[in-house]
Chain A
């Protein structure tokens, strides 16, 4: 194979990475073309191909794509009319939610409007019991009546979510088949297909998100495939999923709900790639951009996966104000703290940073667009951590005077000097990120102390060492290509699909024949999907997992099983794995409480794509390109500034120091030392 290609379309930028057989990378970064994402895709690709001097037909390896298309559809809410079929008597499942007020003290809270309005929700007289018994089958006449209404209303996509369909999908499938026959042009999502898990509201929400995205993602993927073929690319595209999976466009298109976090997932996978290269099995990836920071915990070389997350949080970014989605996804914390986060003094005289953000437009005061509110980037600039003349390699001049003016105003309110105010912003934004990371890790029973930090994004390496110290860590990694890291991540990821299915049973009394059937179905689905993505059955590795809990509990603990449970059929071994995982999380095991299996998990993966490009050791150590006054730690200190490109492998730099590259700046505080390793990473450590 000569060339592979990766394209990551994010909210602001579209990143392209072209990899040649020897591991050399060509990259490009362009603004995302929101009106037509595919146009930006090919504009960027053509620019990279042109610079590499090759044609599309020479790209004979994979074309992997991460995209924000589904997220955009959900936030913009410009999708086509979507309907929901529920069990009769339960039509308001999306409006009733779980009856919870996510913010106790604020009487003004708001809930998101469901993607399906009440007038397009239809109750069907059918019923399945919790043990899977069908009490009442679906009547054809009922579906015909609904089909007439759907046609009249111009509905393009339908979600079906019947009670207990996770236990037996027969009624949902029957309704789906009848509908498909009556309305062949309509998109249909059965909840038992997209999210076969217990808890009706979350499953219905997931199914409607999927249904809503279908009429947008299907033509999108269709156009992408056609244009790639027309341009002469050898292979059909692979699509990155929120779980870190990579599958063919057809599989991805059936379940667009799995694509929501595809870009951030790819970033976490890049972190896993470097962790493996560096021989580290746990770290925290830390991506700080203009509006938010994202962090993800990596344990045993794998990112943490969550079975439930929210999209489109509507009210002050609060947890609980979005639409729940239960598909496997990289467990990402999103923190409302980025370069554009605005600092202000509150009623109590406290300095607060964020969550309000100036974003990238109009941006911080130093962008010189007439905004006078001080932001994190303004503080970084005033402290000398950033260079006004070298932002984006000098393509964008920053207005230091405007930043100073904004910080001065804040300093007056606080009654401190401007430098103290700027240091305050710098410290508080790092505290905010560390605090969010601590709560997230504690919530998952993970000891965050001492974990290496893997920093990327425009503002990540500027703040990473300080965040690390607050997490009692003395180890920071800043990878190369950090500005296109997600696109890079898609190229070092095996083809992979993650599937789940609820199958409630006491572990000790498990019906292994039934469990075997469930797992066989999952495995068949996975084999077919990986085959479509070009990975033959013989190359597929299956990894089994389960979500278990003590009887009476509501939250499950996910464990990975050592053996194929279809063959091993050993409840005691699974119990042991669960008890151990539980003890790690919570410190104690309750005695005498039976264990309940709630959900089976299956990960199917192809072989790992090797990527072993290493830099030659030695070379001439880079010298500081200049010295700059930096006030971050002590007043008026003169600090050396290095150009990252000039640094040689194994070269050591002592802090305080600044290492600049086009898209970011690595800040090395006093007491920290950095070396460049053979993969091109900056390895920063505290102490000597």
Chain B
């Protein structure tokens, strides 16, 4: 296949999944999907290899879907018929917690499977504990949907539908989003078949070989430019409840084979709160960290991910075992890139960034307004500063490594009796450096209510700020206070009507030795 034909076909495949992802994001009920694009959409060949992925989504989802799709194709091999749709939210097979439901649809051309189209989206509710890290094991966290058929020959699997309907708090929203995933699969099927007809393709296997092989070769070629060796990075951070987690990564570059192995031996063991991470999710954020430095503009597919291998000791916090609770796995998962970036600094210093604030701080509020009406907010989130780059400062109050957006203050104030007193940059919180780290922010709010209310806040890095790199200074640690008193609590808090909540998100680490005239511990 020449470079013209392949470009046309490849960009069409990416176009198909990107269109679907955009449509899903627009229609979704799940606020985190709409506002934050917390979804993934991908096309798999008949062998279950991911061949194209939408140019949107968050790293945790997009790279986990490659595995989830492959698992489902393997599990249902020989058991599918036209009109079937598969579903699964097994944390260990997918994106690491029950909220993320993967739907995979075989695309039939006549009686033959041409490809599969899949999506993972973060649903509004999955029963059980709800949002947060407080469940004692995975069973308390909600409804576990093993690999099953959601539709059989175009007919809904009624048993499964009823089980889901009775086990989630917002069945209309969950089924609205599920039907969006299903109809999205159908639309993609039509587009793919039309593309194959237009180009006279009987199947896409030859095309996917080209795409996957060229992507794999390009990734290996990029790795071959690096210096062989094993590079170490380590990152420690505190999580709600005060526990300190350490992630250690040994990044081995094999320039001869063009491979990178990331090994997390020596990292903290799994814990009792729901911040444990399954290996899929660890893998997703590891490949994200490496690919964003190595070759960020190469499309994601089985080939471009293949030369990067990830291992972690079983039972560690980044390869947790059943029945560990995993609900808030992003709290640790979003730190996975940090030790890897530190290791990569030793081999490609110009392309990495210093440690940033890490996981976004998530908040949910439940209470009763002055008229006695109960309310439960959606989850909303705030970011700290990003780490500095070699030649550019770290962006302030910007989410990294994930890509969620903050909900506007006016939208939150219109939805519940919350009043914000302050939301400004926390000046001086970014670490000094040749390039300074991004600033965190200061957020203060209270509720207009006469009843006590529940606050489910998940801050991290309250004790230790993000490290600088190459002589750069650390960013400031975060602060979480109620009425001026520090709080460190992993579970929901009961808050009094007049209480004032203060959040100060961490600043990002600096890059390189700061110029002489800049004071350590912040900028002049």
A binding-site residues for B, Cβ under 8 Å: 89-92, 95-101, 104-111, 129-130, 163-164, 166, 198-202, 345, 347-352, 414-416, 420-421, 423-424, 427-428, 431-432, 435, 438-439, 442-443, 445, 472, 504, 550, 552-555, 585-588, 590-593
Contact = CB atoms under 8 A, between A and B. Distances in A.
B4 interface: yes
Contacts of A504: 414
Most buried by B among A107, A415, A586: A107
Contact of A105 (B7, B291, B392): B291
Nearest 9 pairs between A and B by C-beta?
Answer: A424-B4, A89-B422, A100-B405, A130-B413, A105-B296, A99-B406, A350-B7, A442-B19, A199-B408
A439 B410 contact: no
B389 interface: yes
B6 A100 contact: no
A129 B18 CA distance: 39
Contacts of B291: 105
Nearest to B407: A554
B382 A99 contact: yes
Given A91-B424, A553-B29, A163 B57 contact: no
28 contacts: A90-B409, A92-B397, A96-B424, A101-B398, A101-B400, A101-B403, A107-B296, A107-B352, A130-B413, A163-B413, A164-B413, A166-B410, A198-B414, A202-B408, A348-B215, A348-B218, A350-B7, A414-B2, A421-B4, A424-B3, A424-B7, A431-B8, A432-B11, A554-B31, A554-B407, A588-B176, A590-B176, A591-B172
Given A90-B423, A350-B6, 20 more contacts: A92-B397, A92-B425, A96-B423, A99-B382, A99-B405, A106-B292, A106-B296, A107-B353, A107-B400, A108-B389, A130-B414, A350-B3, A416-B2, A432-B11, A552-B29, A552-B173, A554-B35, A554-B411, A555-B26, A590-B172
Contact of B7 (A352, A555, A592): A352
Contacts of A591: 172
Contacts of B353: 107
Contact of B399 (A101, A350, A432, A472): A101
Nearest to B381: A99
A101 B401 CA distance: 9
A110 B392 contact: yes
Contacts of B22: 439, 442-443
A627 B57 CA distance: 52
A350 B411 CA distance: 45
Given A104-B403, A105-B288, A130 B397 contact: no
Contacts of A423: 4
Contact of B59 (A104, A109, A166, A415): A104
Contact of A439 (B18, B395, B406, B409): B18
B285 to A, nearest CB: 12
A98 B352 CA distance: 24
B182 to A, nearest CB: 10
B292 A105 contact: yes
B306 interface: no
Contacts of A420: 2, 4
B269 interface: no
A515 to B, nearest CB: 16
B183 interface: yes
A347 B414 contact: no
Contacts of A107: 292-293, 296, 351-353, 389, 400
B8 A89 contact: no
A96 B420 CA distance: 15
B378 interface: yes
A472 B194 CA distance: 10
A351 B400 contact: no
Interface string B41-70: 000000000000000111100000000000
A89 B183 contact: no
Contacts of B36: 100
B396 interface: yes
Interface in B210-247: 214-215, 218, 221
Contacts of B272: none
B518 interface: no
Contacts of B428: none
B493 interface: no
Interface string B1-45: 011101110111001001100110011010100111000000000
B399 to A, nearest CB: 5
A443 B15 contact: no
Nearest to B394: A107
A445 B414 CA distance: 28
Given A106-B292, A427-B8, A90 B218 contact: no
A554 B34 contact: yes
A98 B406 contact: yes
A99 B4 contact: no
Nearest to A165: B410
Interface string B404-448: 111111110110000111111100000000000000010010001
Contacts of B405: 98-100
Contact of A95 (B2, B23, B382, B396): B396
B167 interface: no
A99 B34 contact: no
B444 to A, nearest CB: 8
Contacts of A345: 3
A554 B412 CA distance: 11
Contact of A552 (B31, B218, B444): B31
B383 interface: yes
Nearest to A470: B198
B500 interface: no
B180 interface: yes
A189 B280 CA distance: 51
Contacts of A201: 408
B521 interface: no
Nearest to B59: A104
B395 A111 contact: yes
Given A439-B15, A442-B19, A443-B22, A593 B424 contact: no
B29 A590 contact: yes
B179 interface: yes
Contacts of B395: 101, 109, 111
B179 A588 contact: yes
Interface in B249-308: 288, 291-293, 296-298
A166 B414 CA distance: 12
B26 A99 contact: no
Given A106-B292, A431-B8, A129 B413 contact: yes
Contacts of B194: 472
Contacts of A108: 389, 392
A89 B424 contact: yes
B523 to A, nearest CB: 13
A593 to B, nearest CB: 6
B175 to A, nearest CB: 8
